[in-house]
A and B are shown apart, each in its own frame.
Chain A
Amino acid sequence: MSFNLVEVNNLTFTYRDEKQPALEKVSFALPAGSWTAVVGPNGSGKSTLTRLLDGLLWPDSKHSEIKIAGERLTKQNVWSVRQQIGIVFQNPDNQFVGATVADDVAFGLENQNFPPEKMQERIEQALAAVKMQDYAGTEPSRLSGGQKQRVALAGITALRPKLLILDEATAMLDPQGRRDVIALIQQLRQDYQLTVLSVTHDADEAALADQVLVLSHGKVKATGTPADLFSQPDLIASLGLKPPFVMDLKQRLAAKGIEVPAEITEEQDLVNYLCQLSSTK
């Protein structure tokens, strides 16, 4: 965890014909192996940021800098740098290229010159990890919304990128699917050093990250650990965010005169504390 896989300095980007920049002087770092959640209101620049990191868009000026594994991202090295980055887009339909689910996963591997003799095994493994092995021969367009999201994720995790960027990649999964995906990513982080940048509106998901980056109107409004950030109710509210469930409950209880000690952050501890309070008082 000693070096930064990603360093972003002074990143400013304006879409063509727009007056306001979509990102303005954004700086942050992603320590290798860490999980960072990016949160912020609709239109705050989260997806734009992911496109800049992947070299799909380019900053306004030379004063902006994106470094991946120590190398400054340029139009010359973008193809090789991109090999290290896996990005799951907000809309999985923008992701599919293959005629079948298996082809789609194979396509990414072929692009990276993955050894053909190991291809089949890797594809099966990636699809099984998202419980889509039974759909290997299906056309991606004939899948349900959540099935598409799972396949998009398999296509990227199969590549074992160093940096995994998820743009609301669990937004259309059922509750169990969402938990499966989070467990899968934690597993991958354990198996090989994976750095994760995950854009999400789900506070309970952000609460699992090592670091949270809050964007608002294209600027970084706050960074910190989830615990730090979500314990500032006024800041959270002013940014239009919602605290995770336990925090939210504690704040609502405090407003009614029931103060719960700060060290209680887990659901079960809160249950125990409240039950004690109701029986001993």
Chain B
Amino acid sequence: MSIIFNKVSYLYNQNTSLEQPGLQDVSFKLKTGSFTAVIGHTGSGKSTLLQHFNALLKPTSGSVEIAGFKIDAATSNKGLKPLRQQVGIVFQFPESQLFEETVEKDIAFGPQNFGLSEEEAHKRARLWLRRVGLSQDLATRSPFDLSGGQMRRVAIAGIMASEPAVLCLDEPAAGLDPQGHQQIMQLFKKYQAAGHTVVLITHDMDDAARYADDVLVMDHGQLVKHASPAEVFADPDWLHRHHLEQPATVAFSQALARAGMQFEHLPLTRSELVQAICQQVKGAGQ
């Protein structure tokens, strides 16, 4: 079952003086089990797009097909709980989704709300607390008495503990330390490998290049490209026109290529890059 956006447009504050387009005529199809990165300049519509995945926002026109639901302007808010169970969203600002008295209760809320017993839900919560790299000592703390990166991890655990079929993430690594950043990205990759679909908004072009199968590029509410990372990141001028840039790895590889090195295909990750350089340098030395 794929995810289909069919000519989705969204107007903020429709029919008021503040009316403003959030999305314009966006169409795409994502495969089940894929890992998609959504990139685009500030204000390009990424968060607006993501909120359409579980009907937090509903299209002003067009429709979204996801997890057996079809959502359009007429969809009622009733009966959306099963959709929210299958499609979880981690918001851009984690504080906006924390609310319980303690960290453990906050993470357990989702699983319990979707039918697990209190005991089972708390067991899940402790499991996910560990998986996002938080110490058990924090379980009884108020989620608001945490550092920014710790709050971010609680928010991620809170959504993943319900184990949604589609996991949507709005800049989940913003504010994580480098080690945490890598751990959490690997957690998402593992989650995908276990058969789930992952959609990741990111400003980190290296992450998009390294982890995604597919990239959606947004600009002024429009989808301007849907392609593989290799394709999206190959053309620096096109990226600049959309206020984006190449991952450091790709930019470096192209600089090497301009200076005379030849690559069979563009390295997307640092280890691929180093390997390619070694082949050139050592190959030439023989």
Mask, B174-189, CB within 8 Å of A = 1, is 1111111100000000
Task: Confirm or deny: B274 has a beta carbon within 8 angstroms of a beta carbon on chain A.
Answer: yes
How many residues in A have their beta carbons less than 8 Å from beta carbons of B?
Answer: 52
Q: Are A145 and B92 in contact (CB under 8 A)?
A: yes
Interface of A is mostly: helix
Mask, B256-270, CB within 8 Å of A = 1, is 100111000000001
Q: Are B95 and A281 in contact (CB under 8 A)?
A: no
| CB proximity of B275 to chain A, nearest CB, Å | 8
Choose the segment among A79-87, A219-227, A267-275 that binds chain B (4+ C-beta atoms closer than 8 Å).
A267-275
Task: Confirm or deny: B117 has a beta carbon within 8 angstroms of a beta carbon on chain A.
Answer: no
How many angstroms between the C-alpha atoms of A261 and B73 in the bound complex?
62
| CB proximity of A222 to chain B, nearest CB, Å | 15
Write the chain B residue with the least CB distance to A46: B147
Q: Are A175 and B175 in contact (CB under 8 A)?
A: no
Contact status of A249 and B259, CB under 8 A, knowing A278-B280, A281-B284 = no
How many residues in B have their beta carbons less than 8 Å from beta carbons of A?
Answer: 53
How many angstroms between the C-alpha atoms of A120 and B177 in the bound complex?
39
| CB proximity of A13 to chain B, nearest CB, Å | 14
Task: Confirm or deny: A62 has a beta carbon within 8 angstroms of a beta carbon on chain B.
Answer: no
Residues of A232-281 at the interface with B, using a CB-CB cut-off of 8 Å, are: 240-242, 245, 248-249, 252-253, 256-258, 267-268, 271-272, 274-275, 277-281
Contact status of A172 and B274, CB under 8 A, knowing A41-B180, A43-B147, A267-B255 = no
Given contacts A201-B178, A240-B179, A279-B260, 9 further A-B contacts (CB under 8 A): A41-B177, A41-B180, A171-B174, A174-B42, A175-B245, A241-B179, A267-B255, A274-B261, A281-B285
Residues of B bordering A, CB below 8 Å: 12, 18, 40-43, 46-47, 92-93, 95-96, 145-150, 153, 170-171, 174-181, 203, 205, 243-245, 248, 252, 255-256, 259-261, 270-271, 273-274, 277-278, 280-285
